Structure 1
Amino acid sequence: MNITEYQQIATVQYCFPDNNSSCRKEVQTGTGNIFLFTLLSCISVCTVCLNLLVIISISHFKQLHSPTNLLVLSLAVADLLVGLIVMPVKIMELIDNCWYFGEIACTIVLVINSLSLSTSLCSMVFIAVDRYIAVNDPLIYSTKITVCKTSLIIILGWSFSLLYVIIYLHFNDSLLQSQIGSRCLGECILFVIHLWVIIDLVVFFIAPCCTILVLYSFIFNVARFQAKAVRAVLNSTSSKHGDNVSNSSEIKAAKTLGIVVCVYLACWIPFYLSSLSSDNISTLSLVWTMLGWLAYMNSSVNPLIYAIFYPWFKASTKYIVTCKIFESSSSRYNLFREHF
């Protein structure tokens, strides 16, 4: 053995040095990596804070307890899981590619990762259906869609998503020949065969996204028709004018949530396209990692969209930041007073 080979062996690091089955540790150092880790950490913190603002706003202020906002709340909870758990774990994997928390924690993280994706998409499907009914049948919307019914639908959506993920993780070894776990101690990875990618692509991406796009195409066609009707009746009675204004707000909400859907598709389509390029994909691959972070960024962007287009979010954020929500009557504040 020459000196160079001996030095290479001597400098090899392991995740668990005292265990012969330990994985090798690949520590990422350098100014560029430090900047990257700092940037990703800031994104994770911002994702948590922004989605917490959405969750606190909708939960605290009674004026926001509407069926549509409950669906937005469900979406924000899924995004919060991404920022609070998924992003920090991915940052740790980038630093030294070691997993120190055991197989159970590895499985839990993989469940949360998949659950946050599937529930986000379920929430967007429900939002599209909600907006379609609100725009297409505004007069009977309040009787068809209630807070109780929406809460039940959200629970069913989360339950179905969790069941879907658990079935996959439980039967993947025997049915799909995928593997979750590790080739050595200190590794938490997911290998996915091409067949499972196609199944997941159809069940939890193509079918829901097609449903969303079809519903929003109907919504915007109705919106164009009703915009013409609104202009035609501007000089009618005040009661009719009030109905038109109310319906106009429904259309505005549909457009805003349509932007959320478009951003979601822009973030996730590259990820799914890349997943079709290989028969056996590891979650540690560089391309998968980069496109995965692009997809995770969607959880950071959604609250920013609310901040730009929703006046109530700006008003509620001001009350939260200034700690006025701790006042006894804060839950009954009028968040729309200054804007309408």
Structure 2
Amino acid sequence: MDDIVNENITVQYCFPDNNSSCRKEVRTGPAYIFLFIVLSCLSVCTVFLNLLVIISISHFKQLHTPTNLLILSLAVADLIVGLIIMPENIMQLIDSCWYLGSLACSVFPLVSSLSVFSSVFSLVLIAVDRYIAVCDPLLYPSRVTVYKMSICIILGWSLCLIYYITFMYFNDHLTAAQFYSTCYGECVLGIKYSWMIFDFLLSFVTPCSVILVLYALIFKVARHQAKAISALSNGVPNKQESKVSGSSQAKAAKKLSFVISVYLICYIPFYLTSFSVENVTTSSMVWTVFGWLMFFNSSMNPIIYAIFYQWFRVSIKHIMTCRIFESSSSRFSMFSDHV
């Protein structure tokens, strides 16, 4: 078999000893090398940041709270994206062959979908948790406990798994996907247009609507509480207090806007652009470009939900200085620079 070589792409065969082998495209041009380096760095950063979140929340007892369990669940889903999904997609960009066999070809999309959907589900639970904490702070400790939150997280992951197994593999009338393999060494997942619409409504429109509504209510309650504080002292507003309240409102507004904006920016392009074609496959440009934009959300999540918090900065210091290996490290204080 003669190799076909041009300036940017070297065409070989995935399995030279197999007559039914697919052609192998090894992309070695400068643009592909640069893309490989950038995406590899993104994958490493995603794994590193989410590992820091997982280690921090798992190790330090002071961080074992219902809210942090949600951040932990989010970090686990995002870790899967950075550790498994991103590297495989990087290799598919550089080498067109699939070397892992038919079983892995059918399982890999399930792992990818599960991690992405579980990440979105965790975002919804975080919004619900914050809504209860802000709108009903007195009853929050009794209504939201570590045990109840653990059950919600387990049920959430289980429902996500059942959802994708059912509609990707066992539903004959609403078959969501078909695996194409015209030659040995190919793994292409084709997603039907009807499935794209259904999945768009269930895994994007619904959670996005819940998040937007809850954050809108949170912001409304926060403004009401700020006005109540400024109206203290016999109805005479305290200028300094009002200034602090206004500053807090501004910070809350910016943070909530940033959370919502990043989520929408990462997910809207993939779903909307997918509707412009009758069938979407994993080898299409739509899947590649906007799929990576969704993966990028897994890199942003630990920054949005963890790095902005003092406890995360303190835990990073303990981890990076190896103080985490001390026998009493699990009882360190995470809310002060002094232990």
> Which 5+ residue runs of structure 2 have no aligned equivalent?
235-243
CA distance in 2, matches of 1:29, 1:285: 20
What is the rounded CA distance, in whole Å, between the counterparts of 2:77 and 2:323 in structure 1?
27
- Larger fraction in helix: 1
CA contact (8 A) 1:274 1:288 kept: no
Q: What corresponds to 2:239 in structure 1? A: none
1-side partners of 2:266 and 2:52: how far apart? 22
CA distance, structure 2, for counterparts of residue 62 and residue 258 of structure 1: 31
- Aligned ranges 1:82-161 → 2 under 5 Å: 82-161=81-160
Matches for 1:1-340 after TM superposition, within 5 Å:
12-171=11-170, 175-176=174-175, 178-233=177-232, 256=255, 259-306=258-305, 308-338=307-337
The one-letter amino acid paired with 2:279 is N
CA distance in 2, matches of 1:172, 1:30: 42
Q: What residue in structure 2 maps to residue 239 of structure 1?
A: none
Distance 1:257 1:104, change over 3 A: farther
In 2: Cα distance, 1:298 partner to 1:104 partner:
28
- Classify the secondary structure of the residue corresponding to 1:111: helix
Whether the aligned pair in 2 keeps the contact of 1:23 and 1:184 (CA below 8 Å) is: yes
Superposed CA deviations along residues 146-175 of structure 1, whole A, max 9, x for unmatched, are 000000000000000000111122136653
Q: Is the 8 A contact 1:47 1:299 kept in 2?
A: yes
Tell me the TM-score normalized by structure 1. 0.88
Out of 68-77 and 299-308, give the one that drifted further. 299-308
CA contact (8 A) 1:78 1:120 kept: yes
Following TM superposition, by how much is the alpha carbon of 1:253 offset from its aligned partner in structure 2, in angstroms? 8.2
Measure the CA separation in 1 of the matches of 2:173 and 2:108.
Answer: 21
Aligned in 2, Cα 1:201/1:94: closer, same or farther, shift over 3 Å? same
Shift of 1:338: 3.7
Amino acid at match of 1:51: N
How far apart are residue 121 of structure 1 and its match?
1.2
Q: Name the count of aligned residue pairs.
A: 323
Give me the whole-angstrom Cα distance separating, in 1, the residues matched to 2:189 and 2:50.
27
2:219–2:252 Cα contact (<8 Å) kept: no
Q: CA deviation at 1:305?
A: 2.4
Give CA-to-partner distance per residue, 1:14-60, whole Å, 9 cap, x none: 11112222211111012221111011111111100000000111111
Q: CA deviation at 1:329?
A: 1.2
Rounded Cα–Cα distance in structure 1 between residues aligned with 2:173 and 2:183: 21
* Structure 1 pair 177–224 and aligned structure 2 pair: CA distance change class (3 A): closer
C-alpha root-mean-square deviation of aligned residues, in Å?
A: 2.7
Whole-angstrom CA distance in 2 between matches of 1:292 and 1:157: 23
Name the residue aligned to 1:240: none
**Which whole-Å CA distance do the structure 2 matches of 1:330 and 1:140 have between them?**
31
Higher mean C-alpha deviation, range 103-112 or range 81-90 = 103-112
Measure, in 2, the Cα distance between the counterparts of 1:99 and 1:234: 70
**Aligned-residue offset at 1:287:** 2.8
329-338 vs 192-201, which moves further = 329-338
Q: CA deviation at 1:313?
A: 0.8
Unaligned 5+ segments in structure 1 are: 1-5, 236-244
Shift in Å, 1:106: 1.6
- TM-fit CA distance, 1:258: 6.2
Which deviates more from structure 2 when the two are superposed, residues 301-310 or residues 55-64? 301-310
* Partner SS, residue 123 of structure 1: helix
Per-residue CA distance 1:226-280 (angstroms, 9 max, x = gap): 1122334489xxxxxxxxx9xx99x988975663343122111111111111111
**1:192/1:204 CA distance change after superposition, 3 Å:** same
Residues in 2 aligned to 1:257 and 1:281: alpha-carbon distance in whole angstroms: 33
Secondary structure (helix, strand or coil) at the match of 2:189 reads strand
Secondary structure of the corresponding residue to residue 297 of structure 1 = helix
User: Which one is further off, 299-308 or 13-22?
Assistant: 299-308
For residues 77-99 of structure 1, give each alpha carbon's deviation from its aligned partner in whole angstroms, at most 9, with x where no partner exists: 00000000000000110111110
1:292 Cα deviation from its structure 2 partner:
0.9
* Identity over aligned pairs, percent: 62
The code of the aligned residue for 1:20 comes to N
Over 3 Å counting, the alpha-carbon distance change for 1:12 and 1:218 in structure 2 is: closer
Any conservation in 1 of the 2:11–2:26 contact (CA below 8 Å)? Answer: no
